[in-house]
Amino acid sequence: MHDFDRRDFLRGSTIAAAASTFGLLVPPEAQSAPTLPSSPQWDAGRVRHLLPTVSDSRVLVKASFHSPLTEAPMLRVGSTTVRGRMSDTRGEFWQFHAADLKPGRPYTLALVGNRGRALCEPWSLATFPAADEKPQSFRVLFYTCAGGHEAFGFLPPAIRNRLLRRALSFQPAAMVAIGDQVYWDLLAPENGPKMGASPAAERIAAKGGCRHIIHPCRQRGANRAKHPKIQSPVAATGTRQFHR
């Protein structure tokens, strides 16, 4: 696995996406947005979330699973296979970085366990065009502020799922999420008592509704006894179904 430089990766992604500023569109064969399955019965298997990101030559996929994996899973990207890196302490969250891919090309991705058993149904993802290319078109989907847990008055995940699927039906080449992606404030003077520090949040945590978590111990002044864990960005925004 190649060393991952976040700045280089973002730089490559930004160069490819910058074409949107000039009203360009990428042809369908070079689209980088996750392809919607032809049937709503796409088999997620053991996968809970999929968060893909691409540049013109790299793919970074972050995934979480319904239960911890004791051994590193693999991601197959076309003929390339990369070993997952655990990004939590339990083996529920993993990331996969594939490099040296061809620009503007769709790839079939498949997550498999250590014995080669499929962890979910394969799906497709494409790289951006090369930075020096001049595509005739480039369609980008932008959305902002995905919202928080429906217990706090946000739209139910099913409605947000339908909205995003409708937007993806226009076949954008890329999707850009703007604004807050985590609505579980603990220490914010105004929003904390309404969200992460609220009685509703405590009830959700007590029922295991925050199983996929980010520990707030890194947040100065967080009360560990009162808030042992908070939701992950994806679970909090209700986008766990938005991976396909």
Question: Residue 70 sits in a domain of what CATH number?
Answer: 2.60.40.380
Are the C-beta atoms of residues 102 and 80 closer than 8 Å to each other? no
CB neighbours of 96 closer than 8 A, spacing ≥ 6?
Answer: 59, 60, 61, 62, 63, 74, 75, 82, 83, 84, 85
Residue 116, helix vs strand vs coil? coil
122 vs 138: CA distance, rounded Å:
25
Q: Are residues 21 and 132 in the same domain?
A: yes
Place of tokens 């904390």: 192
pLDDT at 15: 36
Q: Are residues 41 and 134 in the same domain?
A: yes
Beta bridge partners of 140: 174
22 vs 39: CA distance, rounded Å:
34
Domain that holds residue 21: 6-138
The amino acid present at 107, given as its one-letter code, is: Y
76 vs 212: CA distance, rounded Å:
25
Q: Domain ends where: 97, 121, 138?
A: 138
pLDDT at 161: 86
pLDDT at 114: 79
Q: Are residues 37 and 111 in the same domain?
A: yes
pLDDT < 70 stretches in the chain: 1-40, 182, 208-244
167 belongs to a structural domain: no
Are the C-beta atoms of residues 26 and 129 closer than 8 Å to each other? yes
pLDDT at 132: 92
Number of structural domains (the chain) is 2
143 vs 10: CA distance, rounded Å:
19
68 belongs to a structural domain: yes
Q: Are residues 115 and 22 in the same domain?
A: yes
pLDDT at 145: 84
78 vs 124: CA distance, rounded Å:
10
pLDDT at 208: 59
Q: Are residues 132 and 203 in the same domain?
A: no
Q: Domain ends where: 116, 138, 160?
A: 138
DSSP code at position 151: G
